Chains A and B, each alone.
Chain A
Amino acid sequence: MTHAREHDAAANNELIAFRLGSQEFCLDIMSVRDIRGWTPTTPLPHACEYVKGVINLRGAVLPVVDLAARLGFAPVEPSARHVIIITQVGNQTIGLLVDAVSDILTVSSGSIQATPDVASELARAFMKGVIAMEGRMLSLIALDSVLTQNQAGQGLPN
């Protein structure tokens, strides 16, 4: 589904923009199920650093990923101001811990540029491209790789 949209350059993509530290990122709105304030998580034994633990979302247990830590930045110390974006890829529902949600954007597929290769390899692995908008730059997150690319065999199996 996501792929079909990707290839259609004329199609408009609705994206949800959010901040991690000083950088801006965005996600396809179709994969976003919900946005909630930070609630304390239950840590999982032996989990990777970027897995904050699990929360209860309407009776389902789902993991919360510290997206900053996942992208190789410093882990977030979550507070009441932080936000969890509930996303869905395939059969998995996962929360992404981010600083704040800033905007909902509509962009054409054609305006998504390739990720410049100055970014770190880790960061590039999780980005589909970048978008220029009113003098800002937003990185488009490749959700499926955030959820499935494992580090050292730990993490989020499909």
Chain B
Amino acid sequence: MDTMAAIKQTFFQECEEQLAELEEGLLAIEREEGDLETINAVFRAVHSIKGGAGAFGLDDLVRFAHTFETTLDGMRSGKLEITPQIVKLMLRSADILSDLVRISRDGGEMDAGRVAQMTDELARTGGAGPVAPAAAAPQPPAFEPLAAGEAEPQVDEFGFAPVQISFDTLIADDEAAGIRQAVHIRFTPKPELYAKANDALRLLRELGRLGEMEVSCDASAVPLLGELDPEGAYLTWDITLTGDLDEKAVREVFEFVEFDCDLSIDTAVAGPVMDESDAAQTVQAILAQVAAEEAAGQERHAAPQAEAPAPVRAAPPAAQAASAAPQQAANSQAPQPGATIRVDLDRVDRLIDLVGELVINQSMLAQRVMEAGIARLSDVAVGLDDLEHLTREIQDSVMAIRAQPVRPIFQRMSRVVREVADMTGKSVRLVTEGENCEVDKTVIERLADPLTHMIRNAIDHGLEKPEDRLAAGKPEQGVVRMVAAHRSGRVVIEVSDDGAGINRSRVRQIAVDRGIVAEDAQLSDAEIDDLIFAPGFSTAAAISDVSGRGVGMDVVRRSIQALGGRITITSRPGLGTTFTLSLPLTLAVLDGMVVNVAGQTLVVPLSAIVETLQPKAQDVHGLGEKARVIGIRGAFIPLIDVGCVLGYRDEEADPLASVAMMVETENQSQCALLVDGIVGQQQVVIKSLETNYGHVFGVAGATILGDGRVAVILDVDAIVAGSRAEAARMDANRKRSAA
């Protein structure tokens, strides 16, 4: 049971991969970049899903996959012309297939009407319908020509005269499926039977299990030794089987070989029948014969190895073509995928941990060597330098194990584009670049929601309606571009549209109406554009079902920041809008600012820090009992003493002897965190505190510094929120004591 559950999980994983491949292939076909192998791959993807689904009895999935597959087969065989309409239909079918897979996995109701309608549409392409594949088969279903075809060269060469099979008896199969007392079988294997690694002896043994068996062998066709072909077949077996016999079971024994032998199964004879004309051979003699034939068989197997040119059977031309085609396809497929193995993620993470430790150990060792006064150019120091390079390389390689291309997530977006385009009645083309760009697996997983929202936003708000585009002299079809690239140790993803750009006066007005900015605020264009990330901002005057899911761009920004990333927007009126995401390559590593607070070393995520500055006396102001603010460019920003918030000290530090780090929090408010001093910037490996301890307020995690000591990583949002809560508590206390 457990095994089946595990296999089922494998099945669904595999479905995801197949669905991605399906979509990728269809999109390539849509771009007219597909070749025969693309169509084959697309067909295989659906075929595979169907195969697995059948094994798990997922009937709805099997049915739809079958219809879909049949249409794709029509495409493959050239019966169905590939038009943009057909490809669109295929893409929509892929979406339905994907939904069916999801529902099979997670449960839920499928919109049966949608499936039925799509099935219908597929059927109407002419390629589909359960009857079609049989009709499409080039081979007539008749058996005779096949049998004749099988009996080719050797037969003529060696004068082998096949006895005609009585097809009447074979076809009369159904009515004969009863219990008989005795069955007489005459079985003459052809060379083909052996060529297919089948064996008469084994079949006789299997027959023997069905009832009492008497066998006689007609060896009259065996030629003289000199003429004997080791690959030939010369014996005929007469078998009488007695007992409670199911004729179907008897026929099943010969199921695999019925075209590679002459076979008659006579059920009409009641009672055992001995062949009187031939000298009746004893069973012992028969078995000796069987053994002899088996020995001949072994010789046959050995023969090709002894003789240099192995006797290759002339393959039928059709089969030759079949084998040639895939090889050709393999050659035309440009990059062969490298061999892969699947590894448990825990093992990779353990390796990453160990390598992180190695890096620290190496730097500690280097420090000790320096302290010991060993010369920089000594062998020891040079050896240590090499070790450092090696260690860094190992670290990079290990990190790369977790990296995956962004391709699957980009592919998911093409579906989003189709759906939103349908819903909004806009015509949209998605252009993607840099799908092979690699990012940490976890980063990729968490990118889906923000990207979906950005794409929706770009189509819904960014692109104009077709008529407006035409009026503006633009092509009717809008373009959404999604580009990924590596830039200075980070991955940058741009989502841009060629729409109208941000309507700044409207954005500004909304922000004023919602109380996000003051009526008389002086805002640059960039600052206005940035307003759409403000919490509570939603540009749609009437919230559409597309973007208006109660999620705004503020949530997008927050989830990107949670990944240690940043999101910015640029817009040009009439030309379009671009969102730029900048993300760390991995979540296991963080760019941090190492700081000192109350004798402790802390790490502040660099992504949160806007700027650092040395507070001047005239800029720091007391506000109320305990609170202090700092004036920066005319704005007053709360000052938070990190040491106090973390409970490292009770008395607040002197701001003039400290450093203020301007940070941006999830709700866009700015705060200044007061620390004693800055040590420097450093990339640190993030360690979990939760594994062995638990969550700690104000702490996002821990890391191990070069000296082997643990340093905690600050959770900036929590620190800011915590200091607000503290202020509120003090207010409440004050009010209580005043009352």
Contact = CB atoms under 8 A, between A and B. Distances in A.
Interface string A97-141: 000000000000000000000000000000000000000000000
Contacts of A91: 691
Nearest to A62: B692
Interface residues of A, number: 26
A109 to B, nearest CB: 29
Given A47-B696, A94-B692, A55 B646 contact: no
Contacts of A41: 710
Contacts of B648: 43, 45
Interface in A47-77: 47, 51, 53-56, 58-63
Given A45-B699, A61-B687, A54 B693 contact: yes
A63 B692 contact: yes
A94 B689 CA distance: 12
A63 B693 contact: yes
**Top 4 A-B residue pairs of the complex, sorted by shortest distance between their CB atoms:** A59-B357, A45-B646, A157-B694, A62-B692
A42 B696 contact: no
26 contacts: A42-B600, A42-B709, A42-B710, A42-B712, A43-B648, A44-B689, A44-B693, A44-B712, A45-B647, A45-B696, A45-B697, A45-B699, A46-B646, A46-B698, A47-B696, A55-B710, A56-B360, A56-B708, A56-B709, A58-B357, A60-B691, A61-B689, A61-B691, A61-B704, A93-B691, A93-B692
Contact of A61 (B601, B646, B688, B698): B688
A61 B697 contact: no
A21 interface: no
Interface of A: 40-47, 51, 53-56, 58-63, 91-94, 155-157
A54 B689 contact: yes
B476 interface: no
Interface in B699-739: 699, 702, 704, 708-712
Contacts of B691: 60-61, 91-93
Interface of B: 353-354, 356-357, 360, 600-601, 646-648, 687-689, 691-699, 702, 704, 708-712
A41 B693 CA distance: 14
Contact of B710 (A45, A61, A92, A157): A61
Nearest to A41: B710
Contacts of B709: 40, 42, 56
B356 A59 contact: yes
Contacts of A60: 353, 687, 691-692
B694 A156 contact: yes
Given A46-B646, A63-B693, A91-B691, 11 more contacts: A41-B710, A43-B600, A43-B648, A44-B699, A46-B647, A53-B710, A54-B693, A56-B357, A58-B357, A60-B687, A93-B691
B158 to A, nearest CB: 73
A41 B710 CA distance: 8
A47 B693 CA distance: 11
Given A42-B710, A44-B699, A54-B710, A59 B353 contact: yes
Contacts of B702: 42, 54, 61
Nearest to B697: A46
Nearest to A94: B692
B8 to A, nearest CB: 27
- Most chain B CB within 10 A, of A40, A60, A63, is at A60
B696 A46 contact: yes
Contacts of B353: 59-60
A106 B471 CA distance: 91
A22 to B, nearest CB: 30
Contacts of B710: 41-42, 53-56, 61
